[in-house]
A and B are shown apart, each in its own frame.
Chain A
């Protein structure tokens, strides 16, 4: 696997229509495991992920990788809260990132079929992706992100609209990816999911990192009053 990490953010800021939506952020993502970004709505979780991924324009500071930018982009993936399905079959959706990398069609389709089996979509290979259920779409999006064996995957609320069964299936896939050595950074609203998956937690508030620490410590002994209120379920602005 390509040496991508550490990912280092220094003073990184992203703006949307002249308002700073996130930052300045100082953060290092390294090693293995799952980092979970928590925070109330509008705290800038999605923007933080996009800024790290490189799809939100940097308004200030820097985002640097251990390798060059092109290699870094080629070895990471992003899973959106609303899965974006290509208007193609399940199989073709999965094969798409491989085809972009110049893999020949039959090999790409073989690998795609393997992955479809692995995430439980093997029975509906030829169905058009846009008509799948929400859970199926998210599994497909996840498999499509993992199929190129990225070193790092960002996930924005991957289980936001899913039922328990689908959530468990997604979490199983994530754990398997983790075991294969993939570094994960995800946002969630689901405290249970954060406890189950996270190695460390970032608590984001008003576009800034309010707390950052290992999961158990954050949940058992939050340092700030805002984090305590957030964990209690109070409204935090």
Chain B
């Protein structure tokens, strides 16, 4: 219990004093995760829409693989990205290992299946509703996808937030590909792992509380944005 109270107290002190290191790693966490989220959404949403409206032969297989990949251990993703980006690996010449870019790549791989899978489920329901109308209006595949994506945008936001939560709290993969370098690739989760390894549970907990608070705040902010957009319409 001592560690818990000490952790809460330290979290308050860190936030209240606007600790420079805390701000730096928090901003980096946000930067890496939000970039990964935007990229992953750009990949996952059209993929989900395509899986919804197109009946190609391997569609069921792709959906099954996608669902399976949702449970992929991040550490494995981290290792794969590490092996690919290492100087000894195929993309070594890019020199991306131990940079925020490498962390973004790993996070994108981790959250694309999650976002696509959740998005696909809501798009499938909407497609069930819209099917007859859109077929009757003789719309193109592209128009179908656009219509579904636009009208399901609130559900897609939820899918994106699920991805955000997972990316924000992820540690295994970004530890491996980012290296947890101070002032370069250290983010909240890897800092927590570091402090835990050092045995400083109170500081680790404090960082954990900051992480939770940030995740909640971002979620609230995005829901609030969704509501203002809805005003006068829904």
CB-contact partner of B138 in A74, A84, A126, under 8 A: A74
Does A73 count as interface, using CB distance less than 8 angstroms? Answer: yes
Contact B139 A126 (CB under 8 A): no
Closest-CB distance, A84 to chain B (whole angstroms): 4
Assembly CA distance A86 to B233 (angstroms): 13
Query: Of B126, B132, B152, which contacts A80 at CB under 8 A?
Result: B132
Q: Are A100 and B151 in contact (CB under 8 A)?
A: no
The distance in angstroms between the C-alpha atoms of A80 and B133, with both chains bound, is: 8
- Which chain A positions have C-beta within 8 A of B232? 126
A77 at the A/B interface (Cβ < 8 Å)? Answer: yes
Which chain A residues lie closer than 8 Å to B139 at the CB level? Answer: 100
- Chain A interface size, as a band, is 10 to 19
Residues B121-161 near A (CB distance < 8 A): 126, 129-130, 132-133, 135-139, 143, 147, 151-152
Partner of B233, one of A55, A73, A89, A97: A89
Q: Does B234 contact A (CB under 8 A)?
A: yes
Let me know if B233 and A84 touch, CB within 8 A: no
| Contact-residue size bin, chain B (C-beta under 8 Å from the other chain) | 10 to 19
The docked-state distance in angstroms from the alpha carbon of A4 to that of B122 is 38
Report if A128-B137 is in contact (Cβ < 8 Å); known contacts: A80-B132, A84-B130, A87-B126.
no
Chain B residues within 8 Å of A87, by CB: 126, 151-152
Q: Which of B126, B130, B233 contacts A128 (CB 8 A)?
A: B233
Q: How far apart are the CA atoms of A73 and B132 in the complex, in Å?
A: 14
In the bound complex, what is the Cα–Cα distance between A38 and B139 (angstroms)? 30
Of all chain A residues, the one with the shortest Cβ separation from B136 is: A78
A53 contacts the other chain (CB 8 A): yes
User: Are A126 and B233 closer than 8 Å at their CB atoms?
Assistant: yes
Binary interface profile of A, 52-83, with partner B (CB < 8 Å = 1, else 0)?
01010000000000000000011001101000
Interface mask (B204-234 → A, CB under 8 Å = 1, otherwise 0): 0000000000000000000000000000111
Q: Are B136 and A53 touching (Cβ within 8 A)?
A: yes
Q: Could you give, for residues 119-142 of chain A, a 1 whenever the CB lies within 8 Å of some chain B CB and a 0 otherwise?
A: 000000010100000000000000
Interface pair A86/B130, CB less than 8 Å apart: yes
A189 at the binding interface (Cβ < 8 Å): no
- Expressed in whole angstroms, the Cα–Cα distance for A184 and B232 within the complex equals 36
For B130, B135, B136, B233, the residue with the greatest tally of chain A CB atoms inside 10 Å of its CB is: B136
Q: Is A88 an interface residue (CB 8 A)?
A: yes
Most A C-beta atoms less than 10 A away, residue of B126, B135, B137, B233: B137
A89 to B135, CA, bound (A): 21
From B126, B130, B135, B143, A100 is in contact (CB under 8 Å) with B143
Quote the shortest CB–CB distance from A39 to chain B (angstroms). 21
B residues engaging A (CB < 8 A)? 126, 129-130, 132-133, 135-139, 143, 147, 151-152, 232-234
- Name 6 extra pairs, CB < 8 A, besides A73-B138, A80-B132, A96-B147: A74-B138, A77-B136, A77-B137, A78-B136, A86-B133, A87-B151
Which residue numbers of A lie inside 8 Å of B, CB to CB?
Answer: 53, 55, 73-74, 77-78, 80, 84, 86-89, 96-97, 100, 126, 128
